[in-house]
Amino acid sequence: MPGFELSEEHQVLSDTVREFADEVVAPVSARHDEEHSFPYKVVAQMGEIGLFGLPFPEEYGGMGGDYFALALALEQLARVDQSVAITLEAGVSLGAMPIYRFGTEEQKQRWLPALAEGSALAGFGLTEREAGSDAGGTRTTAQLDGGEWVINGSKEFITNSGTDITSLVTVTAVTGISENPDGSVRKHISTIMVPSGTPGFTVEKAYNKVGWNASDTHPLTLDNVRVPQENLLGSEGRGFANFLQILDEGRIAIAALATGAAQGCVDEALRYASERQAFGTSIGSNQSIAFKIARMQTRAHTARLAYYDAAARMLAGKPFKTQAAMAKLVAGEAAMDNARDATQVFGGYGFINEFPVARHYRDSKILEIGEGTSEVQLMLIARELGL
């Protein structure tokens, strides 16, 4: 179980990914951001060093590690490039993890090895135009017809859904409706795996996003898409409940990513404040700048402790939903606040896209929105308090 001090194994992993991020990821980040291009070579190298397989058993092509190992890798990657970090996070926690958690042995053997080695990516189609925070409002439908699911609907904001190496997207769909004792209607939401290239499955034009420009995000359309009945992932009608579990775990991963972003802003601001001269001295010698960076470091440290604690509870088999929500909330806000303050430290250069702090400023806002808005996290925390 991870504590506030890393084990030797986890420390080695963290140091290794940090070096990889600095030497491989950082040098090409600005170019991919400017071009809105997916970093295929970087992703391939991430696969080669085992990052996509970190939390999966060796029998499925994984590294035999744990979820905390994934979180540590995400933190180090996000220091220099949030797009690369979210590609890993979504590929593992949203793409591969549902198959590992809820798939049959046949499904695991078929899909996980390629996903674990990073030669393939998977996405998870949950969000719809009118079903975001209220994901239970799913309108996409799936009906059985002659041993096949016939799926109709659309999805929004689906990461890793349109790359050249995307192998499948698991979508949520209403597979039945029943009446509750009080007369209200209950939707039976299931999850179904849709391989890339399936007729009627259209990956629409990529979004022109404010940030995360090197990550792959598309709307999806499903028009009479037919897949075999055995592509059902988990039990029929349990798709929404299962995905809530995936989201709880994913909030730890997103919190780690956000912590990395917050720390990256500290690192850049500290370097610049030490080098930049004004009025005959480094700007870091001015108390206003020094105090600003001190607050930034405090935010990053607090966010790190929060996700360490949530991960420790998860791996110990203890309830962690509330701790994950708090970690996601604190870390997301830390990333956004630190990006704003780092941009201020850089002055005019902070408004130039080629500088990492400018990218963090654009990238970090989504950390208060994606995989559960800050408001949803507050709702979960307040509910735990009995409010």
Quote the CA–CA distance of 2 and 75 in Å, as a whole number: 15
Q: Which of 195, 219, 197 is nearest to 207 (CA)?
A: 219
Task: Considering the candidates 89, 268, 333, 371, report the single residue annotated as catalytic.
Answer: 371
- Note if 48 is an active site residue: no
Quote the CA–CA distance of 141 and 187 in Å, as a whole number: 10
For tokens 């299931």, what's the residue? 190
Which are the catalytic amino acids? 371
